[in-house]
Amino acid sequence: MSERVARSSLWLLTAGSLLVLGTAALLSLSVWQLERREWKLALIERVTQRVHATAGAAPGPGLWSHVNRADDEYRHVRITGRFLNDHETQVQALTELGSGFWVLTPLTTVEGYTVLVNRGFVPQERRDPATRAAGQIQSETQVTGLVRMTEPGGALLRSNQPQGEHWYSRDVAAIARVRHLGSIAPYFIDADASPLPGGLPAGGLTVTTFPNNHLVYAVTWLALAVLFAGGGLQLGREEWRLRRRIRSVR
């Protein structure tokens, strides 16, 4: 009898320890989600301010080494220059308008440097530039848009294949190498929804709203932690009773 009670006590101790560890882990996840929520709220505020700010000058070569995600992404900027339409690159895209391609075209600015401009979206059937010739601006033009950071390598589980012209991310350095663009801005610009002859490419599709469900996740993890803690307390009571039984048997 005492041996059976002792085995039960060992099992309860093991299960209780696991519940304590589980409770600690769940509480940590809840705290982490609260921290993520604060980060997301700050991101949303920062992006909102930048998107709606008056467009300023894009970072020139003297500032390229200092361009970074925290300080520059989603800044509203303007550039003036000429598109190099024969150096267009198309990157697979899935947007609110459907699936198709982003059209990335280098623009040589009046200041003399080159920057990639994501001119916007085109559907599969309008991928060929000849089908949207009216939108291939030849003269000097001004572009306003949002600074975006390069996307090296490719998308999840899909690597860019430059030699086959299969692009899944907007990798500035790789595109510059393939198109022999030389020195180029380390960022690209998502063009605003400015009207274009023929309507394509369709700009202004940058996603600037971000889901913020972290509070729900935090409450969920906290609720699970409370359940685990309750289970631990119940096992603790059972352990206490068993120890009393062990002492009474002895």
56 in any annotated domain: no
128 in any annotated domain: yes
Judgement on whether residues 16 and 40 belong to the same structural domain of the protein: yes
Per-residue pLDDT at 120:
95
Task: Say yes or no to pLDDT of 241 above 90.
Answer: no
Task: Say yes or no to pLDDT of 12 above 60.
Answer: no
Whether residue 78 contacts residue 55, with contact meaning beta carbons closer than 8 Å, is answered with yes
Task: Say yes or no to pLDDT of 249 above 70.
Answer: no
Look at the chain and report how many structural domains it folds into: 2
Per-residue pLDDT at 237:
66
207 in any annotated domain: no
Work out the average pLDDT over 5-28. 69
Whether residue 144 contacts residue 76, with contact meaning beta carbons closer than 8 Å, is answered with yes
Percentage of the chain surpassing pLDDT 70? 85
Distance CA 122, CA 107 (A): 19
Per-residue pLDDT at 57:
94
State the pLDDT confidence band at 1, using cuts at 50, 70 and 90: very low
State the pLDDT confidence band at 87, using cuts at 50, 70 and 90: very high
109 in any annotated domain: yes
H helical segments located in the chain: 2-51, 69-72, 172-178, 214-249
Distance CA 236, CA 34 (A): 30
Per-residue pLDDT at 210:
80
Domain with 222 in it: 2-47+212-249
Judgement on whether residues 92 and 191 belong to the same structural domain of the protein: yes
